[in-house]
Amino acid sequence: MNNNLKVKIIGLMALFMCCLVAVLSYVSVTSTLQRGEVRLHEYQEMLYKQKKDNMKNLVEAISSTASLMPEEEAKQFVRNARYGIDGYFLVINTNSSMVVHIDQNLEGQALTNIKDADQHAFLQKLLGQCKDKGEGTVQYTWIKPGSAKTEAKLSYGKAIGKWNWIVVTGVYLDDVETAIHNEEKLIQQEVWNTVQRYLLVAAIALLLIIVVAGFFINRYITKPLFQAVTKVNHCAAKINETVTNQASFSLELSSSVTEISATMEEFSSSAILIANHSQGVADSATQTLQRTRQGVSEVEGLMIKMKEIYSDNQVNIQEIVALGHKSKEVNKIMEFINNIASQTRLIAFNAALEAASAGEAGKRFGVVALEIRRLADSVMESTKEIETKINEIVAAVSRQVVASERNTKEIEEGMAYSERTVAIIYDIENAADQTTDAVRQIVLSIQQQQTAGEQVVTALRQIKQGTNENTAMIQQTKGISNELNELAEELEHVVDHEKKTDKTGD
């Protein structure tokens, strides 16, 4: 083994390790990026939720306080209320107009005229949400106090019922964007740390591969190869001597076999003429027996198919009966669901009465109770339709069971006819078999002489053919032996060169 081969082996192992590290790095980096995207999205949602929860608490606090005051006093209270650095409150009403604002020039204006930097009537959109759900949020752009540029802003509004007011407050989102940007930097740093770890592992693994591969190649390949070359030289010399002796013996055997084969072929030709005449009778008897057995096989196949049909029919009947039982069980379940729906409807009716007696405070609960009652009515109608369909399935299953039982009786009659037919054909087969045996005994005694001669001739031909093939194989073996000698000499030369190279390197 020369240095080039050693370098190629080490290079292939290093390439494999680099590819493995590259794949692992790609998988790890991809997984880290995916987790980062999920974490960033969850972090953003958490910040938005915190903003919304804080605004909701502030609006509820200011609304509960203002609702205890007269309307004008409540307006002044909301107009003067502040929190944080630039936090304030405003009030709009369900008539789409501004009621209270720190900029009193905006008070009384229609909400459709109040637009953000992108020309969106954001308060009108917030009003629609509050009318539908009692509260709502809207994101828009607005000029931040103390700054000439616009910033993203999130506002929350909630209807308080009194005076048809909707109290609104908002917060700027520049701190959220800053926090998200910082989180993105952390994720990018994690990805770079992962890449650095895998590069370090790859460098260490590559160094170990070079050292270990060089050691094992010298110890477990070069030395055993030198020992194997010595054994190959010794075996090649023995093979060459054995092949020469076999070649001379094979030539002598071939000439003797040729003389014996000529004599036996003359003896076999006379026996063939006698055997040909007797073979015709045996062939006719054999054909009769074969046709009879074919008939038996076909009828047996018919019996097997009839039994399979009978078995499949029984399975079908069992499955159909089971289907009928399952349908009845489903019917019971639907009755149970119907009873639950009826009770739910009664409960919803009672809840609606309680909501009506509660007055204004129970209106929303009354709407929910009405929807539950309608849902219960819908469930009862659906269960009645399903019960009708199940009854139709049960009727169809009963008709199918009657039809399957009628088919079973017809199949049993067919099986009985088939069994009687098989018994008759078996009798015919036994008679044909006895006739064929008698004819074969007659032909056998005539063919024995022919068979003996043919066997001898065939054996001699095989011996002659084997001798010729053996001679050819011996010649091939001799050529291979010579090539083996040459190969052993070349290997010995390569190993000697490698040993000298290793000593020089040392």
Please give the full DSSP string across 412-450, using - where no structure is assigned.
HHHHHHHHHHHHHHHHHHHHHHHHHHHHHHHHHHHHHHH
CA distance 449 to 422: 41
336 versus 280: the higher-pLDDT residue is: 336
Q: How many structural domains is the chain composed of?
A: 2
- 168, 126 contact by CB (below 8 A): yes
The pTM of the full predicted model, rounded to 2 decimals, is 0.37
Same domain? For 166 and 279 the reply is no
Inter-axis angle of helices 174-217 and 3-66, to 10 degrees? 160
Burial status of residue 101 (CB atoms within 10 A of its CB: 0-12, 13-18, 19 or more): buried
> What integer pLDDT is reported at residue 1 of this predicted model?
46
Grade residue 132 by pLDDT with cuts at 50, 70 and 90.
very high
Element (H, E) at 89: strand 87-93
Tell me how far apart the alpha carbons of residues 280 and 299 are, in angstroms, rounded to a whole number: 29
**Residue 401 near residue 317, CB atoms below 8 Å:** yes
Classify residue 208: in a domain, yes or no.
Answer: no
Residue that finishes a domain, picked among 137, 172, 207: 172
Phi, psi of 119, deg, nearest 5? 65, 35
Tell me the C-alpha distance between 286 and 306, whole Å: 30
Cα–Cα distance for residue pair 424/299, rounded to 1 Å: 11
- Judgement on whether residues 296 and 162 belong to the same structural domain of the protein: no
Domain match, 157 and 275 both:
no
Q: 503 versus 328: which is more confidently predicted?
A: 328
**pLDDT above 90 for 98:** yes
Lowest mean per-residue pLDDT among 243-252, 296-305, 404-413, 455-464 = 243-252
In a domain, 236, yes or no: no
Query: Does some domain include residue 113?
Result: yes
- The average pLDDT across 92-112 equals 90
Q: Is residue 429 part of a domain?
A: yes
Let me know whether 154 and 270 are in one domain. no
Rounded Cα gap, residues 107 and 92, in angstroms: 9
Q: Is 271 found in the same domain as 165?
A: no
**% pLDDT > 90, the chain:** 13
The enclosing domain of 103 has a CATH number of 3.30.450.20
> Residue 238 domain-assigned?
no
Coil, helix or strand at residue 359: helix
Among 123, 154, 172, where does a domain finish? 172
* CATH number assigned to the domain comprising residue 436: 1.10.287.950
Last residue of a domain, one of 153, 172, 191: 172
Regarding whether 281 and 165 lie in a shared domain, the answer is no
Please provide residue 312's backbone torsions phi and psi, each rounded to the nearest 5 degrees.
-60, -40
Domain holding 387, by residue range, is: 261-482
**Which tokens is 318 given?**
């069992």
pLDDT of residue 168: 94
Higher pLDDT, residue 496 or 336: 336
Domain for residue 502, yes or no? no
- Do 168 and 270 have their domain in common? no
Quick check: is 69 in a domain?
yes
pLDDT of residue 415: 73
Tell me the C-alpha distance between 195 and 25, whole Å: 6
Q: Residue 410 above 90 pLDDT?
A: no
Asked if 271 and 139 sit in the same domain, the reply is: no
Looking at residue 144, what DSSP letter applies? P
Whether residue 96 contacts residue 110, with contact meaning beta carbons closer than 8 Å, is answered with: yes
Instruction: Share the mean pLDDT of the chain.
Output: 77
pLDDT digits (tens, 9 = 90+) for 264-289: 666 566 656 655 665 676 676 677 77
Instruction: Let me know if residue 356 belongs to a domain.
Output: yes
Q: Measured on CA atoms in the order 277, 283, 284, 286, is the torsion positive or negative? A: positive
Residue 233 has what pLDDT? 65
Write out the two tokens for 180: 């998200």
**162 plus 266 within the same structural domain:** no
Those residues with Cβ within 8 angstroms of residue 79's Cβ, 6 or more apart along the chain or in another chain: 89, 100, 101, 102, 104
Over residues 349-405, the pLDDT tens digits come to 777 777 777 777 666 767 777 778 788 778 778 877 887 877 787 777 777 777 777
Which of 150-159, 344-353, 419-428 tops mean pLDDT? 150-159
